[in-house]
Amino acid sequence: MTVDEFVSRSHILHRSFTESPAKVIAGDGINLILEDGSRVIDASCGPSVSCLGHSQPEITKGIVSHLQNDIAYVYSGSPYTNGATEELATMLLANKPGGLSKAIFVNSGSEATDAALKLAVQYWHEKGQPQRTHFIARKQSYHGNTIGALCVSGHESRRAYYKDFMSSNVSFVDPCYAYRMKHDHESDQSFVDRLARQFEDEIIRVGPDRIAGFVAETVSGTTLGCLTAVPGYFKAIRDICDRYEILLILDEIICGMGKTGTMHAWEQEGIRGPDIQTIGKALGAGFVPLSGVLLHEKIFDSLSTGSGGLAHGHTFQAHPLACAAAVAAQKIISQQKLVESAKSMGKKLEALLRKEIEPLPLVGDIRGRGLFWAVEFVLSKEHKTPFPIEANFCSRVVKQSLEMGLNILGNLGHTGEYQVDHIMVCPPYTVTDGELE
């Protein structure tokens, strides 16, 4: 069937109108199995989602058992709760990581970002400061594709059509992108000081008492390619947020839930934690759509003294079946010590990337943590010259990789000032040495 025939026959409005996608009929560990029987290594787990691979009988069992013995759906706006949702929240928060003590579960990461922003605004209302509705976010960031989430996403091509919907109550500061933004001979500390000064200047420009929160990915995902901050960056940001009483909202939708070698990526940043955190993708390991928002106890304390409930909520919030699947996924991660595996296998992945890929002429930078890595391509290694956008370099790498049986995620669209052609290598926590090679 030609591409045109496929596009006109399929009743799905696919994301590309110029390709006819192959049908995936099954999964086996890290592999996708296509209709013609061929196997493809799913090296990025989709957009870093299927962290336990594509076949996990215990999760299937958990889903079936839930449907046989429990309730498929209960509306979270009614006076009911359900066992699976309570169990999942307890698994995540019983030890109060960083003081996080309450959870909300939603479907997508974008909804989690929207919920986080709305919770921050409600928090300030309950605290008697309803004028705090401004958010500071970072350029070339991504927090989701709904209108609310796009407002805080510094991703130019994703925002382009919707400029008229974008809130003027959001402003952007630079990301911590050392590869291109740290000056020659500048120390990490001086770079951090420069970014911290810019953040503080922006707070003063807007007016601290108008600002609800600062939004950032702890490790930047799809826009800047598994970009870890230089040491001390998040500590400086946390200190400034505390000084001006601004909520620190960390987006760990792509980098969290064990991928970087600790359950939460912020644990490696020497900070006490965020005030609000979003999670997603690896939460349900791709077996169900599920994301969430985790709240520090101080947020709940203020919310609970206010209007008596959440201003936010929707139909499929806290979906019992999705939570049951996530409970099964998180049990596997905990029982098989897979966060520790992400750390140790991540070291092997880094060594392989540094040995085999980094010396290649078009590779500018290799970066990441745990099992969350990216390769940034450049035209000139010496001058860090990016490819012209029209070269579509990354799409070509992705296409050629597919022809070699490797499904890998490349950067999507033009994200801003710096052209960042990268691919993401984030295999499942269950990856073997052979699969890494």
> Which residues contact ligand PLP by CB under 6 A?
47, 108-110, 113, 142-145, 217, 221-222, 251, 253-254, 280, 291
The nearer residue to ligand PLP, 218 or 378, going by C-beta atoms, is 218
Least Å distance, CB 175 to ligand PLP, is 12
Least Å distance, CB 408 to ligand PLP, is 15
Least Å distance, CB 379 to ligand PLP, is 26
Which residues does 200 contact at the CB level (< 8 Å), separation at least 6? 240
Q: How far apart are CA 151 and CA 31, in angstroms?
A: 36
Q: How far apart are CA 378 and CA 179, in angstroms?
A: 12
Least Å distance, CB 426 to ligand PLP, is 11
Q: How far apart are CA 110 and CA 291, in angstroms?
A: 9
Q: How far apart are CA 270 and CA 286, in angstroms?
A: 30
Least Å distance, CB 429 to ligand PLP, is 18
As given in the structure block, the two tokens for residue 310 are 């959440």
- What are phi and psi for residue 404, nearest 5 degrees? -95, 5
Strands (E) across 155-275 are located at 170-173, 211-217, 247-252
Helices 83-93 and 320-335: crossing angle, nearest 10°?
40
The nearer residue to ligand PLP, 82 or 218, going by C-beta atoms, is 218
The nearer residue to ligand PLP, 101 or 110, going by C-beta atoms, is 110
CA angle 215, 220, 173 (to 5 degrees): 45
The nearer residue to ligand PLP, 100 or 255, going by C-beta atoms, is 255
The nearer residue to ligand PLP, 292 or 320, going by C-beta atoms, is 292
Least Å distance, CB 145 to ligand PLP, is 6
> What is the DSSP code string of 52-75?
T-S--HHHHHHHHHHHHHS-S---
The nearer residue to ligand PLP, 122 or 222, going by C-beta atoms, is 222
Least Å distance, CB 401 to ligand PLP, is 20
As given in the structure block, the two tokens for residue 366 are 């290799």
The nearer residue to ligand PLP, 378 or 424, going by C-beta atoms, is 424
Q: What is the DSSP letter of 37?
A: S
- What are phi and psi for residue 285, nearest 5 degrees? 55, 20
Least Å distance, CB 412 to ligand PLP, is 9
The nearer residue to ligand PLP, 85 or 108, going by C-beta atoms, is 108
Nearest to 394 by CA among 427, 357, 353, 423: 423
Nearest to 427 by CA among 23, 31, 58, 24: 31
Least Å distance, CB 94 to ligand PLP, is 25
Q: How far apart are CA 192 and CA 368, in angstroms?
A: 19
As given in the structure block, the two tokens for residue 312 are 């936010």
The nearer residue to ligand PLP, 126 or 220, going by C-beta atoms, is 220
The nearer residue to ligand PLP, 55 or 146, going by C-beta atoms, is 146
Tokens 């098989």 belong to residue? 336
Least Å distance, CB 71 to ligand PLP, is 25
Q: Decide if 113 contacts 144 (C-beta within 8 A).
A: yes
331-to-56, 325, 326 alpha-carbon distances in Å: 12, 10, 8
